[in-house]
Structure 1
């Protein structure tokens, strides 16, 4: 059976307590992992993680003592290292047989960290795992071959080439459909499409895409 993890990073936490509780209740999440300062974020909404991991330079002393008192597992890494805390958390998931990784708190905060977190989606795919950045109104993930969007009518869909060129891009079910065209990373053609059908689909022959799917007000 597939095991899924939710990583709480130290950016803006745009999931509510109720939304996280629902993921846990529906068994979509098997383990809740707070990544360093992300442990401060979820403490504010009164959720206990299963694990806190990182160099702990952002975790407050008060919250660290609290988690220790609650017998929460804490894995501490050195401050001087070659990986971000988020990458270390992903490696933990790989080594503990998780197949799908959700990330929240990946956006907002330091801009360099945001860019690094987006590129971690590719790192996760290279490891043979699935990945998705999620918030209340937005999801971000990679498309390697194809992706279907079911019951997302009215959502804004943007496609951004992660590789220098994406070959043979086909889009159906959207305001701006494409048929076997190429998309360059240096251009912005894939931004701000709109899903118009109950089922939309993106296919590509070669390359890698980042998609953003945003719920409209």
Structure 2
């Protein structure tokens, strides 16, 4: 099972403990200033992407010295550095892609990163993509029945439609259950739910939901 971890240039204070997400089947990818952040945390990225306009000369020299697979781009390009890294990761047929340093700071970058969660679903790829920070975990799911396990540190669970319509939404094992409910883009009906026991399920027949798991 291949897991690709991508660290962007978001605020360091929003990051979880990245050491928890390592492992022998894990590939680390740094994006722009995220490459330098990884190095300062004692993690040498396997790959690096970006125009590196947010690092100093001294930091760039360290990056050049430490990272073997370095892909540098001109600042004038059609994709963000994070999208370049994610597109590359999707070609590797990873089981899971985890994006860190993708929240906080500029809202335009944050919203762009959130939209990229849809890439695998829209392309019908089996890869699961998540955004993870110190307080939140975000991902999307399409039609089907999906199971959720309790995460004590992130007890709040929200379901947000990201397509114009989501039909057949059923929540089982939750404090606030639903059966075959229709919700539209912009609805806050499914904000801040909780599991009643160790696990629960949600299912939809059409559309795409964003799942947000949060701590208070």
| Aligned equivalents of 1:161, 1:34: Cα separation in 2 | 30
**Which residue of 2 is the match for residue 130 of structure 1?**
128
Per-residue CA deviations over 1:94-127 (Å, capped at 9, x if unaligned) read: 2333332100111001100000000000023334
Stretches of structure 2 lacking an aligned partner (at least 5 in a row): none
Q: CA deviation at 1:71?
A: 4.4
**Which residue of 2 is the match for residue 150 of structure 1?**
149
* Pick aligned residue for 1:110 from 93, 101, 106: 106
Per-residue CA deviations over 1:160-211 (Å, capped at 9, x if unaligned) read: 1000110000011111110000111122111111222211111000000001
**Which residue of 2 is the match for residue 80 of structure 1?**
76
| Aligned equivalents of 1:91, 1:162: Cα separation in 2 | 21
* TM-score computed with the length of structure 1 as normaliser: 0.89
| Aligned equivalents of 2:149, 2:65: Cα separation in 1 | 44
**Which residue of 1 is the match for residue 7 of structure 2?**
8
Moved more, 63-72 or 163-172: 63-72
| Aligned equivalents of 2:54, 2:164: Cα separation in 1 | 35
**Which residue of 2 is the match for residue 193 of structure 1?**
193
Q: CA deviation at 1:8?
A: 0.1
Moved more, 115-124 or 125-134: 125-134
Which structure 2 residues correspond to residues 43-122 of structure 1 after superposition, within 5 A? 43-122=39-118
**Which residue of 2 is the match for residue 24 of structure 1?**
22
| Aligned equivalents of 2:91, 2:57: Cα separation in 1 | 28
- Does structure 2 conserve the Cα–Cα contact (< 8 Å) formed by 1:159 and 1:190? yes
| Aligned equivalents of 1:124, 1:12: Cα separation in 2 | 26
CA distance 1:187–1:46, change in 2 (3 Å): same
- Does structure 1 conserve the Cα–Cα contact (< 8 Å) formed by 2:11 and 2:105? yes
**Which residue of 2 is the match for residue 206 of structure 1?**
206
CA distance 1:208–1:54, change in 2 (3 Å): same
| Aligned equivalents of 2:3, 2:74: Cα separation in 1 | 26
| Aligned equivalents of 1:71, 1:132: Cα separation in 2 | 25
| Aligned equivalents of 2:42, 2:194: Cα separation in 1 | 36
Q: CA deviation at 1:79?
A: 1.3
- Does structure 2 conserve the Cα–Cα contact (< 8 Å) formed by 1:6 and 1:103? yes
**1:35 equivalenced with 2:31 (yes/no):** yes
- Does structure 1 conserve the Cα–Cα contact (< 8 Å) formed by 2:45 and 2:67? no
**Which residue of 2 is the match for residue 164 of structure 1?**
164
